Structure formats: structure tokens, C-alpha cells
Structure 1
Amino acid sequence: MEKEKNLTNRYHTPSLIVMLTHEDQTVQNAYEIFDAYKDSDAEYWGFKEEPLPLSQMKDLYAYMKSCGKKTVLEVVAYTQAECMSGAKMAAECGCDFLMGTVYSDVVNEFCRENGIKYMPFVGEIHDRPSVLEGTCEEMILQAREYLAKGVYGIDLLGYRYTGDAARLNEEFVRAVDAPVCIAGSINGYQRLNEIRKAAPWAFTIGSAFFENKFDGNFGEQINKVCQYIKSEKIT
């Protein structure tokens, strides 16, 4: 299947990935929240590799897939052993996408062998919640290197960046001809406007929904964001 092209133009609508996470940790009642709001407008759902037991992760991902959702595991890990452990979780859970991890040839090969779309981090990442450092130019070069090795796309922690996040997002998406997900800390309409302008393939929201940044219950907030992101583009 041909990859979605990450074209920056006024006709591209980024997809929302709902993350059942708060401060880079999966919430304990993730199953109940998904069950309550599974009929909202979001097609993509996911969560992190910590702290739910694997059995609960597998049950929730299976339920998501039975509801026709596309499933994402985002792994906040920086050593090859931890990244590989996350990839194995994604395979056991039948996830469509593995996002995050510091790029590894071993993880990339594992994902290709198991039919998982791999979207690693770029830049210099540390801590949890994650912090992103480095230059845009360095990140673009990293992304092109990883894409040449066959990854599906890139997980860009744009709003965790210690520099100019909006500029990074726009320049990176424009330069990288592959799916880019801008992940983390999208917590208001100003940043949604910036997302619409940058026009990545997708973006994640997790903590902001739990903190009621978009005013309403969890499902109402999802629908507001989906409808807003589809509305007339900012010029």
C-alpha cells in the first residue's frame, strides 16, 4: 500500500490520534474511557508502553480493532533493549503503528518482519515526559536516513522542543516526504492552528483531553478537535 504523502497544502487534513495517556503514562482506566467514547469521530487510538500489564494492553487493543480503529503504541525509550521490548509489545498487541523509540536497525527490521508501521523519534530526546533538542537540519537529515532504511514515517515531538516549536514543525514537515506525526503537548486552539498550517499526516492529543483543555467530556473534546481541524484553513 502506497504511503500517504505528507504534502503541505491547504487541502490536507491531519488526522487526530487519541492517546489514552497523561504525562506520558497510560491511564489506569484506559479501557473504560475507550469503551465510553469509542463512537466519537477519531479513527486512530493508542497509548504508551507503561504502566498497564501486557494482558490489559492486548485486551484493549483487540477491542479497539474490533471497533474498526487503527491502533498505535508509542514507546518512550532510549536504549536498544527497551526499544526492542516496546516493539515486541506492539507485535503481541497486533498494533498497526509503533511510534517513538530511538531509531534502531534491529527494531526497524523487526517491525518490517511483523507488518508494523514504524515511526521513530528524531532529534536528541531525554526524560519522561520527553524533551526534544537538536537543530531542524539535523532532524531532517536523521529522518531521511531512517526513511531510506524503510521506516514508515517519523514521530516528531515538536511541542516538546526547546527551541521554536512552530517553526520546527513547519520546516520539518515541508522537508520530509513521508508521514510525520507531531506528538505531545498540543493543548489549545493556537497549537491546532499551527498544526493545520504545518499540515502533518497526524498529531496526538492525550493529556490535554484529561485536563479538559478543549472544554467538555472526553468524547466531546475529541469531536471538537476533529471538527476544528477540518474547518477552513488558516491563511
Structure 2
Amino acid sequence: MDFIFMLTREDQTVEDCLTVFDEIRSVGVCHLGFKDLGADRRTLEELNRRIKDSGAVSYMEVVATTRDDVLRSARTAREIGVDRLMGGTDLDAVLEILEGSGIGYYPFPGLPQGHPTKLGGTPELIERHCRDFVKRGCAGADLLAYRATDAEPLELVRAARRGLGSRGDLVVAGSVDGPARIRALAEAGADAFTIGSAAFDGAFSPRKGSLRSQLQDILQAAAGAGPALQAAG
């Protein structure tokens, strides 16, 4: 399974993200991302450059849920030149913005609302959305499974896997805070997961004090959990 380290806390990019990246770059995390809130445009551009120069895959996750803000974020992702964009729900408009850029798109299935984002929607809706994503040429889906309000999280993961089949990657974002949850996600069909706050807050390995130790333990848990992203980069 792949681990995407989000340089974020409470759904915002940490202000000192550049310093954090320089401190942890030698740990071996190959997938790193940030949100489109919390740091200014110049900082995000520099962070994306450093991630890609290190040989890692860069991600930006859209926090906004209104159409205008989502499209603005998609334009920012294209201009910055991230490898992969996650989040958002206005599929046609985002795909049009990203056309020809080579950016892989992982939209939110279901009914995301608010900030921090909660996820509404039944397993049937999640499966239907994911099936539509792969038909439209998306790289996969960004599922807020553990922020679900209408269904059990792992049921949504299994539904998303059915919808994506073997043609799309399933990333689970939000509230992944321990090895047991990673194993459960892998068994349910996820290809990757994101962690931000749980690493910064020391929640993943509560008896260890450094961010580097948290990331090392997360990488170890991910390595033993199961399949990885199809286009790992």
C-alpha cells in the first residue's frame, strides 16, 4: 500500500511546510501532498518543486466544495504543475481545466460538505460515482471514508473498489491514525491512504516524539498492508 504524507494539519497546509519537507525528505516518503489552504501561492509552488526535484510524486488536495472555488483550485494545480490533483466534485469542468496537463485526477465520490469536510452518501452512490470516474478518464477516487456520515467507512471503501474495478486507484483520505486502520483499508480494497495531522500530532505512534519516527512507522505499516498505486511514479 502507498502512503501519501500530507504536509497538513486540520485540513490546511502547515505554514512551515518547506522547513518540514527539508527535515523529512531523507525518510523515504515517495508521495507527498498539500492542501490549497494554509500557505500562500509562492510557498506552494516552491514546495511542489522541491517534492518533484526529490523524485517523489506531488499531490494537491482541493478543500473547497463550492464550484467556483473548486475550479479556481484546479487552475492553481495546473499552473503549479502538481503530478496529481485530489478532491472536488465538478468532474467535467475540472477535467476540462486539466486536459493535456498530464495531471492525474482523483475526485471525491459521494457528497462532501463543509470544512473540515464530512462525507455524505450511501455505498450505492459511492460505487456509481466511482464507476463514472473511470469512464470519464479519471486516475481514481479520493474517498473520505472515515469522515462518512451515512454509512460505515469500510462499506464505502468496498463500494468504491467495486466501482473503480481494476482501472482506477482508490485513495482513502482523512482520519487514518494507526496500523489496524491501514490493514483494514488494504483488505477492503484501498491502494493508498493519506495522513497529515496524525503524524504531526504524534497520534500514529504515541510513544515516539519525532515526526521522522512517525513517518517511518507509517511507511512500515504501509509496506506490509497490500497493493500500491498503479502509477506509483
Residue by residue over 1:74-122, the C-alpha shift from the partner in whole angstroms, topping out at 9 and shown as x without a partner, is 0012222111111111112210000001133121122122211111001
Check whether the contact 1:102–1:120 (CA below 8 A) recurs between aligned residues.
Answer: yes
Give, as a single letter, the amino acid of the residue that structure 1 aligns with 2:7.
L
Is the partner of 1:82 in helix, strand or coil?
helix
Q: CA deviation at 1:232?
A: 6.6
Alpha carbons of 1:79 and 1:129: their partners in 2 closer, same or farther (altered >3 Å)? same
Could you tell me which runs of 5 or more consecutive residues in structure 1 were left unpaired when the two chains were aligned.
Answer: 1-13
1:228 aligned partner: 221
2:200 aligned partner: 210
Could you tell me which runs of 5 or more consecutive residues in structure 2 were left unpaired when the two chains were aligned.
Answer: 227-233
Residue by residue over 1:130-164, the C-alpha shift from the partner in whole angstroms, topping out at 9 and shown as x without a partner, is 10011111111111112211111111101111221
Is the partner of 1:38 in helix, strand or coil?
helix
1:167 aligns with 2:165: no
1:191 aligns with 2:212: no
1:28 aligns with 2:15: yes
Check whether the contact 1:155–1:181 (CA below 8 A) recurs between aligned residues.
Answer: yes
Is the partner of 1:208 in helix, strand or coil?
helix
2:117 aligned partner: 130
**Count of matched residue positions in the alignment of Structure 1 and Structure 2:** 220
1:79 aligns with 2:66: yes
1:91 aligns with 2:81: no
2:212 aligned partner: 219
Distance in 2 (alpha carbons) for counterparts of 1:229 and 1:63: 24
Distance in 2 (alpha carbons) for counterparts of 1:104 and 1:170: 22
Check whether the contact 1:77–1:102 (CA below 8 A) recurs between aligned residues.
Answer: no
CA RMSD in angstroms, aligned pairs only: 1.4
2:25 aligned partner: 38
Give, as a single letter, the amino acid of the residue that structure 2 aligns with 1:207.
S
Check whether the contact 1:103–1:146 (CA below 8 A) recurs between aligned residues.
Answer: no
Q: CA deviation at 1:204?
A: 0.2
Identity %: 33
Stretch of structure 1 that moved more, 168-177 or 203-212: 168-177
TM-score by length of 1: 0.89
1:180 aligns with 2:170: yes
Check whether the contact 2:130–2:160 (CA below 8 A) recurs between aligned residues.
Answer: no
Distance in 1 (alpha carbons) for counterparts of 2:163 and 2:66: 28
Distance in 1 (alpha carbons) for counterparts of 2:41 and 2:31: 20
**Relative CO higher for 1 or 2, CA cutoff 8 Å, sep ≥ 6?**
1
Distance in 2 (alpha carbons) for counterparts of 1:43 and 1:105: 29
TM-score by length of 2: 0.90
Q: CA deviation at 1:199?
A: 3.5
